[in-house]
Amino acid sequence: MASKKLQMNFKEVLDKDKIFEIVKQCASDLGIEAYVVGGFVRDLILKRPSKDVDFVCVGSGIALAKKVASTLNANKSVQVFKNFGTASITHKDFNYEFVGARKESYQRDSRKPIVEDGTLEDDQNRRDFTINALAISLNGSSYGELIDPFEGVKDLKRKIIRTPLAPDVTFSDDPLRMMRAVRFASQLGFDIQADTFDSIIKNAGRLKIISQERITDELNKIILSETPSYGFKLLYHAQLLDKFFPELTNLQGVEEKNGHKHKDNFYHTLQVLDNTASLGGDLWLRWAAILHDIAKPATKRFHAKQGWTFHGHEDKGSRMVPKIFQRLKLPLNDRMKYVQKLVLLHLRPIPLVRDNITDNAVRRLLFEAGDDIEDLLNLCRADVTSKNPARVQKYLSNFDLVEQKMKEVEEKDQVRNFQPPISGEDIMQTFNLQPGREIGIIKNEIKEAILDGKIKNNREEAYEFMLEAGKKLNLTITS
């Protein structure tokens, strides 16, 4: 049924893009019905940009895709997935997906459905949420007419995530939809309807039949939303988060002893994540925010005078990163090493803020952080979560001073991407050495001398220092 309350002329909107007229004509030539469905229709109503357009036809989606591709002269861009009865076309930055209408049934131990050909009604019934079950007709006299059997438009206006069928059926059939419910809520800033949310809690254990790759894909989309903490709070309260990320839920809670309390590191972490997002952090900087305090439960100690401490949590946290990445099926490559580095170094700029900034300390931090120094400082800025606005502003202003000092030191000493001015070959030739420990000792002493400001980062001063270091090791100069 079409929504009578919707103030939008879909025919007028469709007429602005020739793809819809082409699909209409191709479907007519094949003697089948066609509709544009799902996320594109939802985003059209929400006025959100979308480059992905899904078409459903009552017939062969593959045949329709091939005919449309031929009309667009885009035959080479067609990808066919026979097992799923789908095909996609990439054309002018858009991705068009075509599928035949179908109905699905599920077995309890699998999220892979048994698929049969179906009607548009069957296809809308199998959709995850009412806001994704919207369709616009591309057929004859009904061209541009909205088909909204579950009042999805009303839910868009109310900002509600709700399942079209009984939520227990929807989530038990495909438990990944529980993650998707949270993801859409987080991306759109919507609420999850009460019965739907209760059903997620009830079916949370079913998440175990979903592959970690699919879970992490949804998790990353939550992390990239504008206010990711909202999605994480929903995951936590829906009892989903502990099913795949117990290290994070272990941060929750405050312990008090002898009048000493520590902050709730779970909610602190979520605030740091939001702060990082507001600074424009990409996915991996946001992951560094999520993991920066991950080892606090393992390093928590109580001292009568000091209260609660978490000494070494940055080092232990960096060592936890690879196992977490491996389990969550995140990439075990330079992105993981980047996150490790930021977790390890996230406390290092703080003394520079509190104390007088020395060139030596700045040089060492520049050397260790390298090209990631700006991201490290942004993580440190995000880590300032005091409830005292004046204190926050003071810390942030001090970080600006540190950043300025770093620019001055880098211009002078060039240690950000440190390349030793004296190579191992230089040392071997100078002292007529074979590869051995003496070379490493001398190279390290040169590096330390540069970082300590004893010599400048140039070949002349480094060469003289090398000769002195060789003498201390009783090495003979041969050239």
Residues 374 and 449 in one domain: no
Burial of 375 (0-12, 13-18, 19+ CB in 10 A): buried
Residues 219 and 279 in one domain: no
Residues 320 and 351 in one domain: yes
Residue 103 backbone dihedrals phi, psi, to 5 degrees:
-120, 155
Residues 378 and 440 in one domain: no
Task: Specify the 3-state DSSP secondary structure of 7.
Answer: coil
283: in domain: yes
182: in domain: yes
The CA distance from 33 to 120, in Å, is 9
Task: Specify the 3-state DSSP secondary structure of 116.
Answer: strand
4: in domain: no
436: in domain: yes
Residues 366 and 289 in one domain: yes
- Range of 214's domain? 168-244
pLDDT tens for each residue of the chain, 479 residues long: 444 444 688 999 999 999 999 999 999 999 999 999 999 999 999 999 999 999 999 999 999 999 999 999 988 889 999 888 899 999 988 999 999 998 765 556 655 655 668 899 999 988 999 999 999 999 998 999 999 999 999 999 999 999 999 999 999 889 999 999 999 999 999 999 999 999 999 999 999 999 999 999 999 999 999 999 999 999 999 999 999 999 999 999 888 777 677 789 999 999 999 999 999 999 999 999 999 999 999 999 988 878 888 899 999 999 999 999 999 999 999 999 999 999 999 998 888 876 667 788 888 888 889 889 999 999 999 998 877 788 888 878 888 888 888 888 888 878 777 788 999 999 999 998 899 999 999 999 998 898 888 988 889 999 999 999 999 999 988 86
Number of structural domains, the chain? 4
479: in domain: no
| CATH number, domain with residue 191 | 1.10.110.30
> Contact, 181 vs 218, CB < 8 A?
no
Task: Specify the 3-state DSSP secondary structure of 374.
Answer: helix
Residues 332 and 374 in one domain: yes
265: in domain: no
In terms of Cα–Cα distance, which of 196, 273, 176, 198 is closest to 230? 273
249: in domain: no
216: in domain: yes
pTM: 0.87
- Residue that finishes a domain, picked among 103, 125, 154: 154
